[in-house]
Amino acid sequence: MLSSLPPPTLSPAVPPYVKLGLTVAYTVFYSLLFIFVYAQLWLVLRYRHKRLSYQTVFLFLCLLWAALRAVLFSFYFRDCVTANTLGPFTFWLLYCCPVCLQFFTLSLMNLYFAQVQIRPSKRSTFSAGFLGVFLAVSLLFLVVNLTCALLVKMTKTETKTIVLVRVAINDTLFVLCAVSLAIYLFKIAKMSLANIYLESKVGEMGKSVKVFYC
């Protein structure tokens, strides 16, 4: 009785038309984000704003992130097999590097808001020390992700173990940075001069955005 039943078949979890629609939506979104951020960086150069600042570094990280995501999702239009069989470095660049860029952005926000609560007389000394910590933690995050991605693609090491190590380190660093940022924001909220300082900085950073909309 049971032997006469046909074998079960697997069907896609998401219908093809839904998958295509999501691919188009994500690709368009990332492409528009890339164009918008690129326009902001161009305006920084056009109106001769400070080229090396928190604003320009933040925008550059966003530009790279949007570009990598747009390239990745463009693979899924016609060549899904290629997207799943990329070489070691290309695999890391499209799948893992965006996560590193997100962590760099979070660390940059920590660096900026940590600087706000320091007295102007001590700001330069503190910035140098905290910048060293920021670079060291970011380098650790980058090395861990790059090493794990290459091990998955180039060796026969058990993938589950590598993924667990990478996730454990990534999540720990992300949580520590998020907690640190929350503490800085909590302290800044209690500072009387913080609002004035932040408003002046936001005003400087928003000049190019205002010009863009005009």
Q: Report pLDDT digits (tens) over 94-116.
A: 888 999 999 999 999 988 888 77
| pTM tops 0.95 | no
3-class DSSP state for residue 73? Answer: helix
Q: What is the pLDDT of residue 45?
A: 84
Q: Report pLDDT digits (tens) over 174-201.
A: 999 999 999 988 887 777 655 555 545 5
Q: Report pLDDT digits (tens) over 114-156.
A: 877 776 656 666 667 778 888 899 999 999 999 988 888 887 7
The amino acid that residue 35 corresponds to is I
182-191 contacts: CB < 8 A, separation 24 or more?
Answer: 184/110, 184/113, 184/114, 184/116, 184/117, 185/113, 187/117, 188/113, 188/116, 188/117, 191/116, 191/117
